[in-house]
Structure 1
Amino acid sequence: MAGSAADAYRISPAPGGARPAARSSARFVAPGESIDIHDLTVSGGFFYTGDAQRLHADSIEACVIDARFDVARDGADPAAGLGSVALSYSGLTPEQRRTYLEWLASDRKKSDINTGYLFFYLYGLERRVLLDGAAGKLSGDEFDAIARELRRLLNLDANYGWQKHVRALIDALALVASRHTRMYLQPAPDGLATGYQVPLNVRVAFGQAALDQHPLPADWALAWVKLDPMMVRRTAVARCPEEFDRVFMRQYRDRFGAGMLLPANRTKLDASPQPAFRALKNVPVPGFLVGLPDIAAVNGTRNKLQLLMHESAVALDAYSRYLGRYPEAQGTLEATLTLPPALWPQATHDAIDALAAEVARETAVSTFGAVLARFKSGGKMTRDKAVVFTTALAEAGIAVEPDVRLGARTPKPTDAIALFAVAPSANPLPVDDAYDVATIIVDLAATVARADGDATQRETAVIEWQIDQWPHLSDAQRARLKARNLAQLAQPTASAGLKKKLEPLAHDVKATIASFLVHTANADGVVSREEVRLLEKVYRMLGIDPQRLYTDLHQHASGAAITPAGVKPAKKHAHSPRPVAVKHEFVLDATRIAALKEETARVSSMLADVFVDEAHGTVTAVHIPETEQPAAVEEQDMLAAQIAAAAHDKVPAPEPQAEPTPPQTSAAAEPLLGLDDAHSSFLRLLVTRESWTRAELADAASHLELMLDGAIEQVNEASLDRWDEPLTDGDDPVEINQEVAQRLAA
């Protein structure tokens, strides 16, 4: 449909066919104009139309749509070639003209149209830029409009010749648009090398900067290294382009300040255009492009940029390799942690700042997974990345407890952690043997406080008060211990390896620990059955006669202060809170203590030297009701077969054994993780499943003549020594850490 009278023109064919006019009336149709040509309405612009005077292919009039030439009612096959590389509108057949005009009147997408029609369209754009543009006849808006059209055309055809000429015209357009200024003052182009030489506009920018002795801006140096086909590029340049750009720009400015000063070499730059339109082959070079040095002709500048590009790419190698393994990890915290901190996304820095503001108000207890979720974690947090993450938080004034930098295992997403404010520093807190002992005491106290469920405020206060009474610790160490206590109270950590830490302690230190634990249990005025059971186990672990526990309980209940032999009371600090008063109204019933002693005695032999890792974990005998014995026996037989297979380091047979098969040893089955044969067999059995019920493992341990809790602790200690992670988690069911299991299988 034709436009209004102001912006529509009607071109009618001349009677009798094509007769050239006396002079050319060709003009360029701007975007937005609407023109009727024959029976078609064309409104896209970007072409010349009018009466052409010279019709041959070597004339600039060859790209003009002359309505005096016939147009067929039906078009030619759009995919068919045009028959000649020297194109002109007059040289097209009436059917080809119909096809071309219909394409102009459409959305001008390639569809199945032959590339020759696209080149004919490009002729008009080349004439507009190289002739009219160089003569100053284009406005800034038209330059922008043509640039957008050329970028659209670039994606219409993958033909190398097409891509080459469209890119060349984009470069020429940028040069013509900057004729009144210097190219190096304009924004640099982006992208990677596609041709055989550095694009003309980049070489012009370098030549002008060399001629003017002006420092070369960083974005133009980046454009050269990415667009020079002679540059050797590491994978990171293409795999993570945004990060590479930031690294290169930063290192360029660090090394060259305002920019490199380029030498003006003698070889001159040939800025002659290389258009597809034959009529423009000899178009004169604009004066502002004449006499520039060609920096691409010498290697000095290229070598400096090559070295800088290599160094920048090396800084991204870890990030690039990570994305190569996990392409979907782009933007996750785990990928970000492989980058230098200066290259982290702004969103990550903002999340750290927001967390620091929250922690500055009060200590926050959360799960590790909840904290990671604030940073778009992908769930692949390794120990190395946890160290980097914890260090970054510390630099922002956020301390994490437990801290992997101080030897703690890498938290699982469900593990509780405490975040508290510290002075910003990347260095971890200095610790010593005294601090390590203090952590053991805090861990034990938190476990005792939780033995009967949640810890009370008074039990928490007792632990924090005791921490304040340790004058040999620094303020920073005491603050971290208090945070550790809160994390332990939220979710006590597994005790695997705790006994080993307690063994080298002096007797008077162990006595102090025992006294403090009894004080903690008694802080709320109620010493529960669970707390007494747990304290008996701890006393055995400490090498103290469990009978002493009941004396200590009576003394604390009656308000008597306990000071172990050889230990002086700590001096009070002026700023320390007052200790929680002992409850004189609470009296521990002697009959109740006797009952507790009788009950705990039944399992005392099984619990020797074992400290359970769950608040309610106890070891009891497994009783099988008579009505369920046949099925249970069958299950035990199958389990026995698994145990025997584990002892031989092979997969158990699927059929149940008729009789329980006792465990056997084999010379081929070597000990695992330094364990003896029985514990190695128990370990092999554990990793055959993802989880076990406690009853199943109790039977398995019995077949191997092992105490269940002791066997689990031995296995976990060996796993901690080797990989800093326990093999098992939970009490019933017992979950098997699959990452550790896979490492063991390897």
Structure 2
Amino acid sequence: MFLYFYGLERRLMLEESPPDADGVIAEVGRLLQVYGGNGSFKRYAGELLSAYQLKSAQLPEKFDLEVEENSYEIPIMLKVALGMRVRSGDAIEPDLLLAYVLADPETRVRTPARRAQTLLRELFAEAVEKQYPNGVRVAPAGVRKLKVNYRACSGTFDLAIRPFGGDLPDITNRSEPIGGARRIFDDCTDRLDNYSRMLGRSEGLKPSLAAVAQLPLGLRVKNCETLAGSPLRRLQELASNDALISIQKLAELAGMDPDKIAARAKQKELSGILAALGYGHTADPSFSLKSAKPNEPAMVFALEREAEADLEPGDRYRPMQLSIMLGMVIAFADGLLHPLEERRLSGKIDETPCLSRDERVRLKAELKVCAADASRVVAWTKRIGDVPKDRREDLADELVAIAAADGTLHTREVSQLEKLFRLMDLDQNSLYLRLQGSVAPQNRPRDGNDDLPLIIPAGIRPPGIPVSPASPRAPAPRVDISRLEAIRRETRTTSSVLADIFVDEAEPPIELQPATEEIETSKGDARFDGLERRYAWLLSQLIEQETWTASDFERLVRGADLMPGAAKQALNDWSLDRFDELVLDGDNPVIVNASLFSEATPQSPSLTVSVEGMSA
């Protein structure tokens, strides 16, 4: 084949205006199609065609910018294209500049640039236009002239070619613009690094939402349009319809492994993927009380814009979230979330200052999720101690207003209010004083219903609720305190029946062995291989519950003769080595990633310690 090629080469380059030149060029093109897989032949054939175009002054209208990366030297026609821009004073367009960078022997072309060539070209063009708003231009003054010396593939002759009579600039020996262009190229490659890495984990290098979410901001949404199954459209439908979806299915939609979504770190990763595409969900562990179970329903909602970093709650979000959830506890006390109660809670979210638009939308979404499952709000009563003392009176006013919002006051609502007042260390009598402004004194109905009708503003008439609009001239109604006391006594009588639903069970004390002078050990638990026995014992106690207050965590750790900070670091180092995830997260509360041990057979290592301030 090469001997045949030598003849074609001599025909084109050594004969002046050969009559069959077009046929010879076509034959070289045919050979390229057949033997183009041979890198050496491909290079020689390409140089022959380029040299003949220069020799015959038959330059193409559009230059082929598909170049081999890291060439031994810059291709002839690329030099010619650059020289023509410099000679005419035109700007070097981004695609030509990128071809120059790729062909330069000193350019390091990394994997992201190979995997995502189309995205790289788009990013590169955008960056060049931003850095050079007037285009990349090179003054021809002082630039050497292009000299082309064609060396035959056969090695039997050399031929000097002077394009345009030897008056074409050659900028390939200058430090600019190649230096600036290479810096832009390297920066664009870095911006595609996370996308390339995520793409490499997928089967067949198929992109997913998880991969597209790693792209720079302007490229994410439009690159989702070509994904199989239209996952972004599915997210839009979920958000528009306020539909519920399990965390496991949401992870699958995002292109993650649904079987690993129980881990807190994976749930945070899922939240980051959705946020990067402009969506949030109610099970985000940065905002929720605890990690969600894989089959736990969540609601997707649209954010104001695509996030460039992981979302974190603002200073006012946590107090407002706790206030809303405690309001839900009261609203659900009578077994039903009334539309007027829901309106009251939603209005409170709208009226609260210092909340961002996305935080308001998130709280309303949480309100809807809890409305579908009342059991979700019960755990929030354990966090009532987080309410600052100077905010408890205001919260008490709001809770009473929520209880009265539906036009009736149920004895179970009074019971819940009494409980929350006790937990906030508020005077019980202040509860009844607050109720005076809400409840109208009326006789108990004879149908067995123990609801107390309220006077509510005219114009709001919820169906099925007895309402007595107050006369504008009548004095303010007052409550019969003795009657409320009777209701309270009756409430205590029935509370034993309702306790399982509306009263949190006391958390079981941490069971420890009687104190001894030395640490006893037993056979190790396979779940904790690689841990010292006292660390293994500590971890076996910690995974019994998902969260620990800072004080309880410290007492438990010190009871094992360990320092809290050092113990937390040691357990997390061990967990990262074994599971590639943290086992402990947060400071107050300390969150335990117990899902790491869910598939292991429990076999608690025994350790006898004495813990000051805790029951043994």
**Which TM-score tier does this pair reach, normalised by the shorter chain?**
0.5 to 0.7
What displacement does 1:509 show?
Answer: 3.0
Say yes or no: does 1:277 pair with 2:171.
no
What displacement does 1:341 show?
Answer: 1.2
CA separation in 1, counterparts of 2:26 and 2:257?
42
What displacement does 1:259 show?
Answer: 3.6
Match of 1:597 in 2: 495
Say yes or no: does 1:559 pair with 2:457.
no
CA separation in 1, counterparts of 2:598 and 2:415?
27
What displacement does 1:225 show?
Answer: 0.8
Match of 1:218 in 2: 94
CA separation in 1, counterparts of 2:417 and 2:107?
70
CA separation in 1, counterparts of 2:521 and 2:69?
55
Match of 1:509 in 2: 394
User: Could you say what secondary structure the match of 2:172 adopts?
Assistant: helix
CA separation in 1, counterparts of 2:427 and 2:594?
30
Match of 1:169 in 2: 45
What displacement does 1:459 show?
Answer: 3.2
Pair 354,209 (structure 1): closer, same or farther in 2 beyond 3 Å:
same
Say yes or no: does 1:489 pair with 2:489.
no
Match of 2:211 in 1: 335
CA separation in 2, counterparts of 1:245 and 1:173?
27
Say yes or no: does 1:418 pair with 2:299.
yes
Cα shift readout 1:233-283 (whole Å, capped 9, x = no counterpart): 56644565444333222212222346422343553333233332345x345
Contact map agreement 2:411 2:451 (CA 8 A) in 1: no
Give the alignment of 1:448-467 within 5 angstroms.
458-459=337-338, 461-467=340-346
User: Could you say what secondary structure the match of 2:211 adopts?
Assistant: helix
Contact map agreement 1:129 1:176 (CA 8 A) in 2: yes
Give the aligned residue type for 2:342: I
What displacement does 1:421 show?
Answer: 5.7
User: Could you say what secondary structure the match of 2:105 adopts?
Assistant: coil
Contact map agreement 2:275 2:303 (CA 8 A) in 1: no
CA separation in 1, counterparts of 2:451 and 2:239?
39
Contact map agreement 1:416 1:490 (CA 8 A) in 2: no
Give the alignment of 1:672-711 within 5 angstroms.
675-678=553-556
Cα shift readout 1:473-503 (whole Å, capped 9, x = no counterpart): 3695765533220133346376497234235
Pair 208,407 (structure 1): closer, same or farther in 2 beyond 3 Å:
farther
Pair 725,232 (structure 1): closer, same or farther in 2 beyond 3 Å:
same
What displacement does 1:651 show?
Answer: 7.4
CA separation in 2, counterparts of 1:490 and 1:649?
49
Match of 2:75 in 1: 199
Pair 542,496 (structure 1): closer, same or farther in 2 beyond 3 Å:
closer
Say yes or no: does 1:386 pair with 2:297.
no
CA separation in 2, counterparts of 1:148 and 1:725?
68
Q: Residue 444 of structure 1: which of 319, 322, 326 is its match?
A: 326
CA separation in 1, counterparts of 2:5 and 2:165?
23
Pair 505,282 (structure 1): closer, same or farther in 2 beyond 3 Å:
same
CA separation in 2, counterparts of 1:129 and 1:651?
88
Pair 722,266 (structure 1): closer, same or farther in 2 beyond 3 Å:
same
Q: Residue 145 of structure 2: which of 268, 272, 280 is its match?
A: 268
Cα shift readout 1:385-442 (whole Å, capped 9, x = no counterpart): 735742641xxxx665567787887877655443446765869899664x64442233
Give the alignment of 1:467-478 within 5 angstroms.
467-468=346-347, 472-473=351-352, 476=357
What displacement does 1:311 show?
Answer: 3.2
CA separation in 2, counterparts of 1:649 and 1:337?
51
CA separation in 2, counterparts of 1:504 and 1:333?
45
Higher relative contact order (CA 8 A, sep 6+): 2
Q: Residue 721 of structure 1: which of 561, 581, 587 is its match?
A: 587
What displacement does 1:558 show?
Answer: 1.5
User: Could you say what secondary structure the match of 1:169 adopts?
Assistant: helix
Cα shift readout 1:325-348 (whole Å, capped 9, x = no counterpart): 889876233333333112337332
Q: Residue 346 of structure 1: which of 222, 225, 237 is its match?
A: 222
CA separation in 2, counterparts of 1:415 and 1:128?
76
Q: Residue 249 of structure 1: which of 111, 119, 125 is its match?
A: 125
CA separation in 1, counterparts of 2:236 and 2:8?
57
Match of 1:119 in 2: 2
Pair 513,170 (structure 1): closer, same or farther in 2 beyond 3 Å:
same
Pair 606,341 (structure 1): closer, same or farther in 2 beyond 3 Å:
closer
What displacement does 1:222 show?
Answer: 0.5
Contact map agreement 1:271 1:290 (CA 8 A) in 2: no
Query: What root-mean-square deviation, in Å, do the aligned CA atoms of Structure 1 and Structure 2 show?
Result: 5.9
Give the aligned residue type for 2:344: W
User: Could you say what secondary structure the match of 1:489 adopts?
Assistant: helix
Give the aligned residue type for 1:335: A
Identity of aligned residues (%): 18
Pair 201,423 (structure 1): closer, same or farther in 2 beyond 3 Å:
same
CA separation in 1, counterparts of 2:73 and 2:386?
67
CA separation in 2, counterparts of 1:649 and 1:288?
92
Question: TM (normalized to structure 1)?
Answer: 0.53
Q: Residue 35 of structure 2: which of 153, 173, 187 is its match?
A: 153
What displacement does 1:367 show?
Answer: 3.9
What displacement does 1:506 show?
Answer: 3.6
User: Could you say what secondary structure the match of 2:65 adopts?
Assistant: coil
Give the aligned residue type for 2:368: L
- With 492-501 and 212-221 compared, the bigger mean Cα shift is at 492-501
CA separation in 2, counterparts of 1:594 and 1:407?
33
Q: Residue 65 of structure 2: which of 188, 206, 209 is its match?
A: 188
Give the aligned residue type for 2:387: L
User: Could you say what secondary structure the match of 2:389 adopts?
Assistant: coil
Contact map agreement 1:225 1:305 (CA 8 A) in 2: yes
Structure 1: unaligned runs, 5 residues or longer: 1-117, 158-162, 563-571, 611-618, 622-638, 656-663, 689-717, 739-746
CA separation in 2, counterparts of 1:603 and 1:450?
11
User: Could you say what secondary structure the match of 2:338 adopts?
Assistant: helix
CA separation in 1, counterparts of 2:501 and 2:341?
30
Contact map agreement 1:726 1:737 (CA 8 A) in 2: no
- With 332-341 and 212-221 compared, the bigger mean Cα shift is at 332-341
CA separation in 2, counterparts of 1:262 and 1:137?
40
Pair 190,234 (structure 1): closer, same or farther in 2 beyond 3 Å:
same
Cα shift readout 1:168-222 (whole Å, capped 9, x = no counterpart): 32244356569776568424114411x4211222112112222222221211111
Give the aligned residue type for 1:721: D
Give the alignment of 1:359-378 within 5 angstroms.
362-371=241-250, 373-377=252-256
Give the aligned residue type for 1:305: A
Pair 414,597 (structure 1): closer, same or farther in 2 beyond 3 Å:
closer
Contact map agreement 2:146 2:170 (CA 8 A) in 1: yes
Pair 649,414 (structure 1): closer, same or farther in 2 beyond 3 Å:
farther
CA separation in 1, counterparts of 2:65 and 2:327?
64
Give the aligned residue type for 1:202: L
Give the alignment of 1:644-659 within 5 angstroms.
652-653=523-524
User: Could you say what secondary structure the match of 1:273 adopts?
Assistant: strand
- With 318-327 and 335-344 compared, the bigger mean Cα shift is at 318-327
Pair 508,129 (structure 1): closer, same or farther in 2 beyond 3 Å:
farther
Say yes or no: does 1:299 pair with 2:165.
no
Give the alignment of 1:66-85 within 5 angstroms.
none
CA separation in 2, counterparts of 1:451 and 1:652?
48
**Structure of higher CA gyration radius:** 1
